[in-house]
């Protein structure tokens, strides 16, 4: 693909495609897309990591597929074409997870299937892949997947650390002996509402650091 | 009857789509700025869930499950098409929303005008696909139970979006820290509402 491109593979523009979604154009905290799955899978780090990887794979590959077909898709049925491409990828990912990490796949339950309706993916296909070449689309997909993943990892880190006292299943607090001096896990962090509040806090921190993102109404 | 009532109440309050599973959050956050549009979208969601969940239940039971094709001929008894679930469900949902849109446009232009823009968007609302997937995972016994579950989930979603929209309208008069304005405070409010809804946990009729 890249040999036909006039610009180099890792030109400044392409690098920016990857880095922008990590920070000031983050799919979750700025564009407000793909919230559903982001909150539900963040009780522990491991499922969150698996989910982030799955979404990144689906978004990057379907971006490339749609970008390669973009000139042949009739405008009126593009949504259904996009859905079919995404659904195919999700079926592949789902079967892969069931075969190799069955326990995580059970924990994620319906949320693997819900990647199909994850608005980040539809949003990127509609907004980027339909108008760009496959290689930039691939980078854009990776960047948005990573931006989504970062938020998932931050949220699940706090929820697992404060809620269960472990990091990636390793009992850090127990090894440090903090329980002996009377520390208790905060059971609240495991409950669904705290995911919303933690994301709210992340938005607060990000917007206080970068004043230009503040919504004025 | 008691069982059905139990499923209904549970799907509204205990397993609320928004507060317990965060489904349909994208449109929930984007549309909840005014009560009027929120109510419109909420009604459309109830409507579509009420139709798609039972349809998907029938499809799953008679076409996709392992051994489901046995009613056609004995030779198909051990065919397992369950890997096609996602693809078929999303196609059914897209088709049903289209159908609902056309029916509403024909028979009730006034309802169509108030729901108009939201109906097509519902096809990619994760609450709809989510309800079908939960219906599959929880293995409801018959189509009546599935219908009641679909209706209850829709009503739960409606309650959530109508509630947050009302709160957001009132929030205009309060002094929120600048960086929290808009999105941030909505997240925290939803979190607080979800904590309130957790009070319903364990209800069993």
- Residue B133: which of A29, A110, A191 has the nearest Cβ? A110
Please name the residue that has the structure tokens 């994208």.
B26
Does residue A107 belong to the interface with chain B, where contact is any CB pair within 8 Å?
A: no
Do A204 and B179 lie within an 8 Å CB cutoff?
Answer: yes
Rounded to an integer, the average pLDDT of A124-134 is 87
Burial class of residue A3 (count of CB atoms within 10 Å of its CB; 0-12, 13-18, 19+):
exposed
How far separated are the first and last CA of chain A, in Å rounded? 45
Do B184 and A113 lie within an 8 Å CB cutoff?
Answer: no
Do A200 and B187 lie within an 8 Å CB cutoff?
Answer: yes
Residues of chain B short of pLDDT 70, as ranges, are: 114-118, 205
Structure tokens at B63: 């076409």
Q: How many CB pairs under 8 A join A and B?
A: 141
Do B194 and A196 lie within an 8 Å CB cutoff?
Answer: yes
pLDDT of residue A27: 80
Contact list, A38 vs chain B (CB under 8 Å): 22
Nearest chain A residue (CA) to B88:
A87
Nearest chain B residue (CA) to A202:
B184
Torsion angles phi and psi, residue A164, rounded to 5? -115, -5
Does residue A203 belong to the interface with chain B, where contact is any CB pair within 8 Å?
A: yes
Do A215 and B182 lie within an 8 Å CB cutoff?
Answer: yes
Please name the residue that has the structure tokens 């980040």.
A120
Structure tokens at A118: 């994850």
Residue A34 has pLDDT above 80, yes or no: no
Rounded to an integer, the average pLDDT of A96-122 is 85
pLDDT of residue A217: 53
Rounded to an integer, the average pLDDT of A36-44 is 79
Do B126 and A114 lie within an 8 Å CB cutoff?
Answer: yes
Rounded to an integer, the average pLDDT of A169-198 is 82
pLDDT of residue A130: 86
The model's confidence at residue A175, banded by pLDDT at 50, 70 and 90, is confident
For residue B74, the distance in angstroms to the closest alpha carbon of chain A comes to 27
For residue A140, the distance in angstroms to the closest alpha carbon of chain B comes to 21
For residue A207, the distance in angstroms to the closest alpha carbon of chain B comes to 5
Do A192 and B134 lie within an 8 Å CB cutoff?
Answer: no
What pTM, to 2 d.p., does this model score? Answer: 0.83
- Could you tell me which residues come within 8 angstroms of residue A41 by beta carbon, excluding any fewer than 6 positions away? A47, A48, A51, A107, A108, A111, A152, A156
Do B86 and A109 lie within an 8 Å CB cutoff?
Answer: no
Q: In angstroms, rounded to a whole number, what is the distance separating the alpha carbons of residues B196 and B14? A: 11
The model's confidence at residue A108, banded by pLDDT at 50, 70 and 90, is confident
Contact list, A95 vs chain B (CB under 8 Å): 83
Count of Cβ atoms closer than 10 Å to residue A1 Cβ: 12
Rounded to an integer, the average pLDDT of A1-24 is 68
pLDDT of residue B165: 92
- Could you tell me which residues come within 8 angstroms of residue B135 by beta carbon, excluding any fewer than 6 positions away? B53, B56, B57, B60, B146, B149, B150
**Which of B34, B121, B178, B184 has the most A C-beta neighbours within 10 Å, making it the best mutation to test the interface with A?**
B184
Please check whether residue B91 is in contact with residue B121, taking contact to mean a CB–CB distance below 8 angstroms. Answer: no
- Residue B26: which of A29, A32, A80 has the nearest Cβ? A32
Count of Cβ atoms closer than 10 Å to residue B196 Cβ: 12
pLDDT of residue A3: 44
Torsion angles phi and psi, residue A186, rounded to 5? -90, 95
- Residue A114: which of B84, B123, B130 has the nearest Cβ? B130
Do A36 and B126 lie within an 8 Å CB cutoff?
Answer: yes
Please check whether residue A179 is in contact with residue A173, taking contact to mean a CB–CB distance below 8 angstroms. Answer: yes
pLDDT of residue A4: 47
Q: In angstroms, rounded to a whole number, what is the distance separating the alpha carbons of residues B162 and B53? A: 22
- Could you tell me which residues come within 8 angstroms of residue B106 by beta carbon, excluding any fewer than 6 positions away? none
């Amino acid at each position: 693909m890249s040999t036909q491109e006039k610009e180099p593979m890792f030109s400044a523009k392409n690098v920016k495609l990857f880095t922008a979604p990590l920070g000031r154009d983050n799919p979750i905290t700025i564009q407000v897309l793909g919230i559903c799955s982001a909150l539900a899978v963040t009780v522990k780090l491991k499922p969150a990591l698996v989910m982030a990887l799955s979404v990144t794979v689906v978004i990057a590959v379907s971006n490339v597929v749609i970008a390669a077909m973009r000139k042949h898709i009739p405008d009126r049925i593009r949504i259904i074409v996009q859905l079919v491409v995404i659904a195919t990828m999700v079926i592949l990912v789902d079967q892969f997870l069931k075969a190799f990490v069955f326990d995580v796949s059970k924990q994620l339950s319906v949320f693997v299937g819900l990647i199909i309706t994850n608005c980040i993916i539809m949003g990127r296909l509609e907004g980027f892949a339909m108008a760009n070449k496959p290689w930039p689309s691939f980078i854009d997909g990776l960047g948005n997947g990573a931006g989504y993943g970062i938020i998932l990892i931050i949220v699940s880190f706090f929820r697992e650390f404060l809620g269960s006292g472990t990091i990636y299943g390793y009992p850090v607090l127990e090894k440090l002996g903090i329980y002996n001096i009377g520390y208790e896990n905060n059971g609240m962090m495991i409950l669904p509402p705290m995911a919303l509040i933690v994301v709210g806090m992340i938005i607060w921190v990000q917007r206080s650091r970068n004043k230009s993102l503040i919504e004025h109404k | 009857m008691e069982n059905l009532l139990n499923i209904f109440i549970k799907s509204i309050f205990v397993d609320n789509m928004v507060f317990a599973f965060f489904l349909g959050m994208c449109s929930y956050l984007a549309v909840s700025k005014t009560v009027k549009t929120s109510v419109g979208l909420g009604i459309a969601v109830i409507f579509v869930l009420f139709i798609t969940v039972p349809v998907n239940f029938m499809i799953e039971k008679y076409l996709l499950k392992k051994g489901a094709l046995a009613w056609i001929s004995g030779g198909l008894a051990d065919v397992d098409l369950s890997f096609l679930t996602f693809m078929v469900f999303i196609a059914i949902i897209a088709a049903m929303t289209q159908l609902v849109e056309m029916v509403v446009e024909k028979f009730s232009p006034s309802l169509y005008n108030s729901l108009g823009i939201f109906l097509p968007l519902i096809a990619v609302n994760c609450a709809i696909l989510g309800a079908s997937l939960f219906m599959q995972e929880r293995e409801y016994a018959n189509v009546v139970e599935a219908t009641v579950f679909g209706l209850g989930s829709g009503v739960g979603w409606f309650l959530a979006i109508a509630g947050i929209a009302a709160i957001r309208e009132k929030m205009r008069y309060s002094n929120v820290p600048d960086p929290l304005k808009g999105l941030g405070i909505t997240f925290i409010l939803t979190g607080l509402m979800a904590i309130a809804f957790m009070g319903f946990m364990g209800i069993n009729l």
